[in-house]
Amino acid sequence: MNRLSSRHVLGIEHMTVRDVELVLDTADALKDILDRPIKKVPPLRGRSVVHLFFEPSTRTRLSFELAAKRLSADTISVSAASSSVVKGESLLDTALNIEAMRPDIIVLRHPLSRAPHFLARHVDTPVINAGDGTNEHPSQALLDLFTVRERFGRIAGLRIAIIGDIAHSRVAHSDIRAFSKMGAEVTVCGPGTMMPPYVEALGARSARCVEEALDGADVVMALRIQKERERRALVPSIREYAQLYGITRERLRLASPDVVLMHPGPVNQGVEIAPDVFEDPRSVILDQVTNGVAVRMALLSLLIISDTNREGGGT
């Protein structure tokens, strides 16, 4: 059976291990398209993907749009500023009107946690969560898994250190769930004001300092401070944050000799990562960006194939 267990991709918490493996294997098969002279194949010809982005985005939005175009789908992008949301239209009314135009997939980014879950309950079109509030960013977690599996050949048994603003980062929440689900050991560390009380419930261990978190780590994931989600300053100064939690070459020596450095972007060099570390050969940050297109190609194709099979009564 070559389809996902759900007709929506709303979060890692709803995906099975088999779902995750299917996405990674499909992305692996599709990735070579990105290196061809003609970067376009026909499987989604005649299909349409609507991108509803109610928050700013560069990487995720462009990555989803490129992924759809690489598969020959038609794409339409709508932002809050250019939609009837500014006239008072609700998310549901916007989505119902878009659905009336018969798109095949809706990709939604929204500042409210679980907005994609709400939408999925009210529309028949498959919904992909492109980031909802502080809740989840499942496609980012899947591309992070893909990048790690590509580098190490496995995920199970690896030691993952996630450093930074854990409480307000939807990437942290999805990555903790994803790496734990696939058998990795996840340790997190950040300022006390940025550490959620439920981190163990997500599947991670909390370290007392960044040096403890990095000790023997195979993967170091640095996260930026999510200023847009904080109502007040949660650290005394950016300078102090960089001194206590920034990933420097000296700190990286505590990790495994084969460590890889990751960041979901945008990167604030000199704050969460020292500039010389960003350019270090162990950094796979730009590989993550490339792999994001392949993983989103996989999600779009799997959802449309799954939906077509369901409509046709296939298995």
Catalytic residue of the set 14, 59, 114, 151 = 59
Catalytic residue of the set 26, 60, 75, 94 = 60
Catalytic residue of the set 87, 102, 208, 232 = 87
Three-state SS string over 242-256 comes to HHHHCECHHHHCCCC
Q: What is the 3-state composition of the chain as percent helix, strand, coil, each rounded to the nearest 5?
A: 45, 15, 40
Q: Are 219 and 162 in contact (CB under 8 A)?
A: no
Is 149 in the active site?
no
Is 109 in the active site?
yes
Q: What 3-state class would DSSP assign to 204? A: strand
Residue keyed to tokens 């401070």: 225
Is 137 in the active site?
yes
Distances (CA, A) of 49 to 3, 52, 228: 19, 10, 28
Pairs from 13-20 (Cβ < 8 Å, separation ≥ 24):
13/136, 13/177, 15/138, 15/181, 17/181, 17/182, 20/142, 20/145, 20/178, 20/181, 20/182
| The token pair that represents 29 in the structure block | 């098969």
Beta bridge mates, 262? 221
Name the strand (E) or helix (H) holding 76.
Answer: strand 74-79
Instruction: Please tell me the distance from the alpha carbon of residue 230 to that of residue 148, in angstroms, as a whole number.
Output: 30
Instruction: Please tell me the distance from the alpha carbon of residue 190 to that of residue 220, in angstroms, as a whole number.
Output: 13
Instruction: Please tell me the distance from the alpha carbon of residue 146 to that of residue 182, in angstroms, as a whole number.
Output: 11
Catalytic residue of the set 137, 168, 263, 296 = 137
Enter the DSSP assignment of 165.
Answer: -
Is 18 in the active site?
no
Is 239 in the active site?
no
Residue numbers annotated as active site: 59-60, 87, 109, 137
